[in-house]
Amino acid sequence: MTRARLIHQHPASAAGRVRQLESAGIAVDYSDTPDSAGLRRLVENVPDVYLIDLERLPSHGREIGLWLRRRTSTRRVPLLFAGGAPEKVERARALLPDAAFCTWEEVAPAIADALANPPADPIVPASQMAGYSGTPLPKKLGIKEGSVVALIDPPAEFDQILGPLPPRARLVHGQQPDADLTIWFCRARADLDAQVATVRERLPDGGRLWIAWPKQSSGLASDLRQAGVRAAGLACGLVDFKICAIDGTWSGLQFAPRRN
């Protein structure tokens, strides 16, 4: 029996898709937007085909597809994108031209076709940092030798975007009491307003915080802008002192606790 991993951002809608696939004789593992642990599971239990929905949060679907294609363990597993508005489909196709695309109505035969015709030499997209030159990103972000860097809700391929770290520097997921630097990727104003005070309270003494938000040109849906990020930080006792273009998708402001 064919085993598909369905990646879908809306659990209620995904349940219907799982039933649709199972009625066609396809075994389905389902993932919503994976966190860091979920991403590890995607590559630990490799399916016959990755099926990625483009109807809900298509930018996240593209991001996961790129992440899977960059991993050697999943590179040769067929990628099939299902559904989505034509312009969203074309954007994914431009990034992954040898992936397969279909409507949800034709998904079962499309899976069979993708398995019968996997890409012979899979295209491996360049990191989103390709074309960014000059100062290495870890240095721009203030990651130093031996730094502990806490990541909150990072994009799927952020370890590759960062590139090589300084000696003994390490990444941890979730806010940590021993972190020298925390990088928080925030996608919505409501999330920022709801969580910024808690993130501030959990910063260790001397810890610094990057708040990153999607650029308007990124294609990611977001209502965050630089002024709003700065205002939220200032309101909870932080002071911004540096701005950084992290990559083609994310901008960031760096904050430190205000001194009394």
Where in the sequence is the domain holding 79, given as residue range(s)?
Answer: 3-116
Judgement on whether residues 109 and 161 belong to the same structural domain of the protein: no
CB atoms within 10 A of CB 166: 13
Q: Does a structural domain hold residue 124?
A: no
* pLDDT value of residue 131: 39
What is the mean predicted confidence (pLDDT) over 56-63? Answer: 80
Q: Does a structural domain hold residue 132?
A: no
Judgement on whether residues 175 and 248 belong to the same structural domain of the protein: yes
H or E stretch covering 194? helix 189-201
Residues in the chain: 260
122-181 per-position pLDDT tens digit: 988 765 444 344 578 999 999 999 999 999 999 987 888 888 899 999 999 999 999 999
Rounded CA separation 234/27 (Å): 50
Question: Is 77 in a helix, a strand, or coil?
Answer: coil
Question: Is 201 in a helix, a strand, or coil?
Answer: helix
Rounded CA separation 17/28 (Å): 10
Judgement on whether residues 9 and 85 belong to the same structural domain of the protein: yes
Query: What CATH number is given to the structural domain containing 15?
Result: 3.40.50.2300
Question: Is 203 in a helix, a strand, or coil?
Answer: coil
C-beta separation of 93 from 99 below 8 A: yes
What is the mean predicted confidence (pLDDT) over 44-68? Answer: 88
Judgement on whether residues 90 and 143 belong to the same structural domain of the protein: no
Q: Does a structural domain hold residue 125?
A: no
Judgement on whether residues 89 and 197 belong to the same structural domain of the protein: no
73-130 per-position pLDDT tens digit: 999 999 999 999 999 899 889 888 999 999 999 999 999 999 999 988 898 876 544 4
Judgement on whether residues 25 and 107 belong to the same structural domain of the protein: yes
Overall domain count for the chain: 2
C-beta separation of 162 from 212 below 8 A: no
Which of 97, 123, 128, 154 is closest to 219 using CA atoms? 128
5-42 per-position pLDDT tens digit: 999 988 889 999 999 999 999 999 997 655 445 667 78
Q: Does a structural domain hold residue 217?
A: yes
Which tokens in the block code for residue 39?
């991403």
Rounded CA separation 242/81 (Å): 38
DSSP assignment letter at 127: P
Which of 87, 116, 145 lies at the terminal end of a domain, its last residue?
A: 116
Q: How many Cα atoms sit within 13 Å of 173 on the Cβ side?
A: 13
Query: What CATH number is given to the structural domain containing 144?
Result: 3.40.50.150
Which of 57, 84, 116 lies at the terminal end of a domain, its last residue?
A: 116
Judgement on whether residues 91 and 142 belong to the same structural domain of the protein: no
